[in-house]
């Protein structure tokens, strides 16, 4: 096995040994491993507006030399214009270390395995199974990725790829670093396709197919991770008030998967479900569900309301 510090590009041309300090890598990569994502479940919108064009042959900002004033490591993207984003964290391979889920333009995702070593991780190496694994989108064209908890109880965090609605794909965590083909997952190998059926209208705009960012987001209290689908433009108590729907984890997946719990916004236009997070707010040891409705009107127009639902949820 090669060391992580030796990037080997797919074509085999580039062989460099780069240590953390003082060496600029291949141009165009960021020195920060962070993507600004908090781990709350409102992440995963990569198909949005405001995209500026990226020229793969365009100028680069200069040399990147890992100028972080702390111990740690950096993760460098594999290719120009990939724009990897941090889509979630969780222990995908079950080794006790938190792993990072990165999603790139075009739907490709990388799982970068947690490690104690400093230095650099190259996604080009991860694509060859060194320090992580790649998930190729195939024909599934995922719109966004999220790290879920362990939704099947095997000790490994699982992933969710938002595919063409009304369906989503779940990728079960694995211990090895072989590439994962999302087409195979859709066919039932190493995961499954969840048909959400008419319960989700594509026009509703699903925001967050998983409650990532925590080792386990367990809102049902059974020890298995659960999935959340936030629909801030969906129908709730009134049309367009928003809703959040949960699918609870289970040891055996398959067949039709129905929502186990649905919370509704109160008034049209509330944007209930704009943000969703999980934390133990009341200190009883059970996860609680936090949902924002920034345009609710309880104290005047769009004064906003945040709901805290104590778990376990029925
Ligand atoms: Ca891990
Ligand atoms: Ca799992
Ligand atoms: Ca659960
Ligand atoms: Ca609690």
Per-block average pLDDT, block size 10, for the chain (314 residues)? 42 35 35 34 42 87 78 94 93 96 95 95 98 95 86 92 78 97 94 75 59 70 88 84 90 82 94 90 94 96 97 94
pLDDT at 96 (0 to 100): 95
Distance between Cα 227 and ligand 4 center (Å): 17
Give me ligand 1 centre to Cα 107, in Å: 22
Q: Are 109 and 128 in contact, with CB atoms under 8 Å apart? A: no
Backbone angles phi, psi at 212, to 5 degrees: -90, -170
Per-residue b/e over 25-42, b at no fewer than 16 CB within 10 Å? bbebbeeebebebebbbb
Q: What is the pLDDT of residues 45-79, one digit of tens each?
A: 444 445 689 999 998 888 887 667 889 999 999 99
Q: Are residues 129 and 75 in contact, defined by beta-carbon separation less than 8 angstroms? A: no
| pTM score of the predicted model | 0.77
Instruction: Note the ligand closest to the C-alpha atom of 311.
Output: 4
How many A from CA of 154 to the centre of ligand 2? 5
**Per-residue pLDDT at 197:** 65
Q: Using an 8 Å Cβ cutoff, are 167 and 190 in contact?
A: no
- What per-residue confidence (pLDDT) applies to 215? 56
What ligand is nearest to the CA atom of residue 155? 2
> 226 CA to middle of ligand 3, Å?
5
Q: How far apart are CA 123 and CA 76, in angstroms?
A: 6
The pocket of ion ligand 4, defined by CB under 5 A, consists of 280, 282, 284, 286, 288
Q: Find the 234 Cα to ligand 4 centroid distance in Å.
A: 27
Beta bridge partners of 194: 168
Ligand nearest to the CA of 247: 3
pLDDT of residue 22: 33
Print the SS3 string covering 28-64.
Answer: CCCCCCCCCCCCCCCCCCCCCCCCCCCCCCCCCCCCC
How far, in Å, is the centroid of ligand 3 from the Cα of 140? 27
- 107: CA distance to ligand 3 center in Å? 28
| Rounded Cα gap, residues 120 and 19, in angstroms | 7
């Amino acid at each position: 096995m090669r060391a992580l510090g030796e990037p080997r590009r797919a074509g085999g041309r580039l062989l460099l040994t780069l240590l953390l300090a003082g060496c600029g890598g291949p141009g165009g990569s960021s020195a920060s491993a962070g993507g600004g994502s908090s781990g709350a479940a409102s992440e995963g919108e990569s198909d949005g507006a405001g995209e500026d064009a990226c020229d793969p042959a365009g100028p680069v900002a200069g040399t990147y030399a890992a100028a972080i004033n702390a111990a740690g490591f950096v993760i460098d993207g594999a290719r120009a214009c990939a724009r990897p984003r941090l889509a979630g964290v969780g222990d995908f391979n079950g080794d006790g270390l938190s792993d990072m889920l990165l999603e790139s333009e075009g739907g490709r995702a990388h799982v970068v395995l947690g490690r104690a070593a400093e230095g650099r991780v190259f996604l080009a190496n991860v694509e060859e199974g060194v320090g992580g694994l790649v998930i190729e989108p195939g024909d599934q064209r995922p719109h966004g990725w999220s790290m879920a908890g362990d939704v099947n109880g095997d000790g490994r965090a699982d992933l969710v790829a938002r595919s063409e609605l009304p369906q989503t794909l779940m990728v079960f965590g694995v211990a090895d670093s072989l590439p994962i083909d999302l087409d195979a997952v859709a066919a039932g190998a190493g995961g499954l396709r969840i048909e959400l059926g008419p319960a989700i209208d594509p026009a509703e705009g699903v925001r967050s197919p998983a409650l990532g960012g925590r080792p386990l987001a367990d809102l049902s209290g059974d020890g298995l991770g659960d999935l959340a689908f936030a629909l801030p433009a969906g129908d709730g108590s009134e049309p367009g008030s928003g809703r959040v729907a949960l699918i609870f984890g289970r040891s055996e997946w398959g067949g039709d998967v129905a929502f186990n719990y649905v919370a509704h916004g109160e008034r049209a236009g509330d944007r209930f479900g704009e943000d969703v997070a999980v934390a133990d707010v009341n200190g009883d040891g059970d996860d609680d569900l936090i949902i924002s409705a920034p345009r609710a009107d309880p104290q005047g127009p769009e004064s906003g309301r945040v709901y805290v639902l104590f778990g376990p949820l029925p």
